[in-house]
Chain A
Amino acid sequence: MPKSDRLYAVTLGGLAWTGVAFLVFPVLFTTVVSFNGGIFIQFPPESFSLRWYENIAKIHRIGPSLAVSFGIALVAGAAATLIGVAAALALVRHRLPFKAGITAFLLSPVTIPIVAIGIALIQFFILIGIEFTWYSVVIGHLVLVIAYPVRTLVASLTLSNPSFEEAAASLGATPWRTFLTVTLPQMKPGLISGFLFAFLISFDNYPISIFLLRGDLTTLPIELFNHISQNLDPTPAAFSTLYMCVVAALIAVAEQRYRIISLSLSH
């Protein structure tokens, strides 16, 4: 390889792989630390033990908070995806006035400060007298996560070919059946990745939940954060490791079957 080509490859490779290491190492360190026998965060670990994985079960209110977070994420994710499908259809396949403005509006909750959503809703709920329950948290999360399925579904629809729908119509399919049998299957990457991200973002959310939770209600991020602030043990490391494994598995499967990564690169 000519000299300048080699210099370029080495420089670029060095910088890039350093960046990749930067991206990956904190998670690796966390995993290593989670197996520590001692009671502190220690690197290298003083001994090997699985006790912190067992200790996850002893995090304050881990059971209820996990259930609540999971439930909220499921509902918010599903609702966001359903609403997103309808909105994406309107934006891409039908003639909607002010299309660019409406799209920007639907995506805007991601660009404003997250705490603004929580703060605005807390005041609003007090004003109109809504009780702070499970549902109010769902509403708060939904405001934030609607943007994700909308974005991925619009991308999915834009990439798919309207000629298929026209062909189906010419063969006698009603709009509803065309939607079910032709349009929806083509939107799968957008559906899967939209729902996945809406779910994960809701599941992990702290800034909106902190404002809208009352009384007995608590979510996993809240309990986890409390544990981190009050304890120095590596239990959160064990939890993080498990969590990352699950997310990595989900993304890998979604990518393999639905090609969600190339979808996000297409626009």
Chain B
Amino acid sequence: MARLEIRGIEFAFGAQRILHGVTLDVSDGECVALLGPSGCGKTTTLRAVAGFVTPTAGDIRVGGRSVLALPPYKRNLGLVFQDFALFPHMTVAENVGYGLRMRGVAREAERAAVADKLRLVRLAGMDGRYPAELSGGQRQRVALARALVIEPYILLLDEPLAALDRKLRDQMQVELKRIQREAGITTIIVTHDQEEALSLADRVAVMFDGRIAEVGAPGSLYQSPRSLGVMDFLGGANLFRGTVMRVDAGLAEVACSEGFALRVSGGEVHLGTEVTVGIRPEHVEILAASAGGTPNTASGKVVEHVYKGAHIDVYLEIGGTVRIASVPAQWTAEHGLPEIGTTLRIAFPARHLVMLDSAT
């Protein structure tokens, strides 16, 4: 295994520029997710690392050495494809051992390594089966074993769970995480599914339009992102535009266009600047009707509520715009379902408010 350095790679397909200078460092043994909407360039970045795409500028270094001049079959990387790409005319054992055969490993050693990896992915005893006889989850694991058995420098996963159904996906997420930890291998996962990225990775890199917008640990990226795009993409977001009226001991008071004031931590801003403030729906609080007009509160009229199982999304019209408050199902058990048309007092606790850089 090794560390990966992606340095300002660019790529254009004909007249269309796909990557605009992507830079990312992945430490030895770390698992990083490339997350973004379709068309953001995450798969292109992965394929550039794998060697199927040649960047028009920039460098890719594995273990300190540039790999750009190397064809895919000389880079020693493990690739798991979205459709698994298991060779239909070979058994599971022959599939997993393919990379070893390409490296001229002796038959006995190959058999031992294959058996070992099949055990790792919990498919021991399936050697003689053909891919057509396996379920989706099993094929996934064979693809993983095949990529891991060659002891690659880096493991690259392209939408690894996209082909699986919901229940299987949850199970495989846990499996995948375990296998990655046990193998201790540097890993990059490409996904459009934020839940997958947040649950599997040590760090998440969010990409928009061929650039990395922000990189961070799942927790901090979710709770306090710096960029507007990331806040909006990861989970729901309530966004307020306003002007900074006062800065006082690290707390900025922002006058929102809807007519109320929000106190946000974010001491670097100057008076009079236009800012965007965000808060996640699950952090919005619904207060008792009697609550007064303290800072960071507003009135909202209920226009809709949507039952989501573990929680309920309440759509509130606040100052002309609809916002969402997510309340746990437990809350409605105690307070009853908010009726459409009623007006409620809403609170936006300062500790959950995030000042966002609207340029990203």
Contacts and interface: CB of A to CB of B under 8 A. Distances in A.
B67 to A, nearest CB: 12
Interface in B44-71: 69-71
B74 interface: yes
6 closest pairs, A vs B, by CB?
A2-B71, A5-B71, A2-B74, A2-B70, A4-B71, A2-B69
Interface string A1-33: 010110000000000000000000000000000
6 contacts: A2-B69, A2-B70, A2-B71, A2-B74, A4-B71, A5-B71
Interface string B184-204: 000000000000000000000
A5 B70 CA distance: 11
Nearest to A2: B71
A137 B74 CA distance: 64
B192 to A, nearest CB: 28
Contacts of A4: 71
A6 to B, nearest CB: 10
B55 to A, nearest CB: 16
Interface of B: 69-71, 74
Nearest to B70: A2
Contacts of B74: 2
A194 to B, nearest CB: 33
Contacts of B70: 2
Contacts, number: 6
A4 B102 CA distance: 15
A4 B72 CA distance: 12
A177 B69 CA distance: 62
Contacts of B71: 2, 4-5
Nearest to B73: A4
A22 to B, nearest CB: 31
Contacts of A5: 71
Nearest to B74: A2
A254 B151 CA distance: 53
A4 B69 CA distance: 13
A5 B73 CA distance: 10
B37 to A, nearest CB: 29
Nearest to A1: B71
Listed residue (B69, B70, B71, B74) with the most chain A CB atoms within 10 angstroms of its CB: B71
A4 B71 CA distance: 9
B70 to A, nearest CB: 7
A4 B70 CA distance: 11
A2 B68 CA distance: 11
Contacts of B69: 2
A210 B69 CA distance: 64
B53 to A, nearest CB: 15
Contacts of A2: 69-71, 74
A2 to B, nearest CB: 4
B279 to A, nearest CB: 45
B358 to A, nearest CB: 45
A159 B136 CA distance: 27
A106 B69 CA distance: 56
Interface string A69-113: 000000000000000000000000000000000000000000000
Nearest to A3: B71
Interface string A200-224: 0000000000000000000000000
Nearest to A4: B71
A2 B71 CA distance: 7
Nearest to B69: A2
B82 to A, nearest CB: 24
B299 to A, nearest CB: 49
A5 B72 CA distance: 11
A2 B70 CA distance: 7
A5 B51 CA distance: 13
A258 B272 CA distance: 64
A2 B74 CA distance: 10
A212 to B, nearest CB: 48
Nearest to B51: A2
A175 B70 CA distance: 61
A5 B69 CA distance: 12
A47 to B, nearest CB: 49
Interface in A139-198: none
Nearest to A5: B71
Nearest to B71: A2
B31 to A, nearest CB: 30
A162 B267 CA distance: 64
B74 to A, nearest CB: 7
A239 B225 CA distance: 77
A107 B133 CA distance: 34
A197 to B, nearest CB: 33
A65 B70 CA distance: 65
B174 to A, nearest CB: 40
B140 to A, nearest CB: 30
A8 to B, nearest CB: 11
A59 to B, nearest CB: 52
A29 B133 CA distance: 55
Interface string A231-262: 00000000000000000000000000000000
